[in-house]
Amino acid sequence: MRHLLSVALCVIVSLVLLGIGARYVSGFWLFTTLHSLQLHLSLLCALALVLALLLHRTRLPAVLLASSLGMAGHAIWMTQDLAQDDWRGAGSPVLRLMSFNILMDNLENAPAIRDAILGSGADVVNIMEAAPLKPELPALSAVYPYRIGCGEMTKHCDLMVLSKTPLEARSIHSLSTVFEERMIVSALSWQGTTIHLAAIHTTKPYFDSFQTHELVRAAQVLERLEGPLLVSGDFNASSLAPNIRMFLHWTGLRTALWEPATWPQWAGRLGVPIDHVYVRQPLRIRSLERLSSSFGSNHHGLVAEIVLGDR
């Protein structure tokens, strides 16, 4: 019986590792979710294989254990490969950004989310699935008089950007036919420098290859922008996913040295960072933190402090 359980664990782990390993030979969309979870799944596989070894000591679980640890190590390397350099400049003053997918049917928590936005001290706020905040727009406008979304340049109340300072060069983009108006590009003047802003909400990776097509479309828009660039939003994938890494390479964007887990909210710090804040030099992320509450959403929001470093 112990031998049978050990073999069963090895079979299950082998299938998972094959799915993860597909990234090294193909970018087939069906495995993209596994690629986003590479670190989590590799570590879970390693634990399962330790159990398999305790049940029955043979060569197969040992080999699979080494493979699992190798994939986990590669995932950790990838989290740092596209991270910003370890810059330690003074970084003052700070541009404060809040980015939060509040969940489209989260109506009862709209007043609390409104208060969280107003109390965040953010200069710019990026809200996804913003419909619950529609009744709160007058209160938000008192602090954030500049808005794109929820009727301002858009047909829908989905993706929305709020700002304390004027937003220039404004444009709305539909990245695919799945959802409209899920990329907002604008710019603001900060410290005498024009900062380009992009808010993005991509589809889920298991919607065929739509997510990759959306990221290609977004990269084509962003590559035309010169100078400092700040991108935030819900990408529905971690920075480990091959299509996200393609997007970052293409645009020259970089991640924080460590990205907080944002989904699912019940997993806490053991969740997956699928909501992101990315920057292009000379911008740097001085800090990146989760909001203390999910306010009824299935995501945690992010607050980032952005500084203008040396070129």
Region label for 122, one of left (φ > 0), alpha (ψ between -120 and 50) or beta (otherwise): beta
Residue 143 is assigned to a structural domain of this protein: yes
Cα–Cα distances in Å, from 77 out to 27, 74, 81?
Answer: 19, 5, 6
Number of domains in the chain: 2
pLDDT score at 206: 79
Q: How far apart are CA 182 and CA 176, in angstroms?
A: 9
Residues 6+ positions from 267 with CB-CB distance below 8 Å: 261
pLDDT score at 60: 84
List the structure tokens of 271: 């969740």
Residue 86 is assigned to a structural domain of this protein: no
pLDDT score at 311: 53
CB-based burial label for 88 (10 Å; 0-12, 13-18, 19+): exposed
Instruction: Count the helix, strand and coil residues of the chain and give each as a percent rounded to the nearest 5.
Output: 40, 25, 35
Q: Which residue has the tokens 């090895």?
A: 10
Classify 136 as helix, strand or coil.
helix
- In this structure, are 299 and 170 located in the same domain? yes
- In this structure, are 130 and 256 located in the same domain? yes
Cα–Cα distances in Å, from 252 out to 84, 106, 159, 195?
Answer: 10, 35, 24, 15
For residue 69, the surrounding DSSP H or E stretch is helix 59-81
**Residue 271, domain extent:** 95-308
Residue 87 is assigned to a structural domain of this protein: no
pTM of the entire predicted model: 0.92
- In this structure, are 113 and 247 located in the same domain? yes
Q: How far does Cα 66 stand from its chain's mean position?
A: 29
- In this structure, are 278 and 152 located in the same domain? yes
CB atoms within 10 A of CB 149: 23
CB-based burial label for 77 (10 Å; 0-12, 13-18, 19+): exposed
Q: What is the CATH number for 225?
A: 3.60.10.10
pLDDT score at 34: 82
Q: How far apart are CA 299 and CA 167, in angstroms?
A: 27
Q: What parts of the chain have a pLDDT lower than 50?
A: none
- In this structure, are 76 and 102 located in the same domain? no
- In this structure, are 113 and 153 located in the same domain? yes
- In this structure, are 207 and 156 located in the same domain? yes
| Sheet arrangement for strand 229-234 | 168-173, 183-190, 193-201, 229-234, 275-280
Residue 181 is assigned to a structural domain of this protein: yes
Residue 202 is assigned to a structural domain of this protein: yes
pLDDT score at 310: 65
Residue pair 304/123 in contact (Cβ under 8 Å)? The answer is no
Is the bond preceding 205 in cis, omega lying within 30 degrees of 0? no
Residue 88 is assigned to a structural domain of this protein: no
Residue pair 156/181 in contact (Cβ under 8 Å)? The answer is yes
**pLDDT tens-digit readout, 150-187:** 999 999 999 999 999 999 999 999 999 889 999 999 99
For residue 42, the surrounding DSSP H or E stretch is helix 38-55
Residue 173 is assigned to a structural domain of this protein: yes
- In this structure, are 117 and 207 located in the same domain? yes
Rounded percentage of the chain residues whose pLDDT exceeds 90: 71
Q: Of 55, 81, 107, which closes a domain?
A: 81
- In this structure, are 23 and 163 located in the same domain? no
- In this structure, are 253 and 132 located in the same domain? yes
Type of residue at 53: L
Across the strands, what pairs with 160?
A: 127
Residue 89 is assigned to a structural domain of this protein: no
pLDDT score at 271: 93
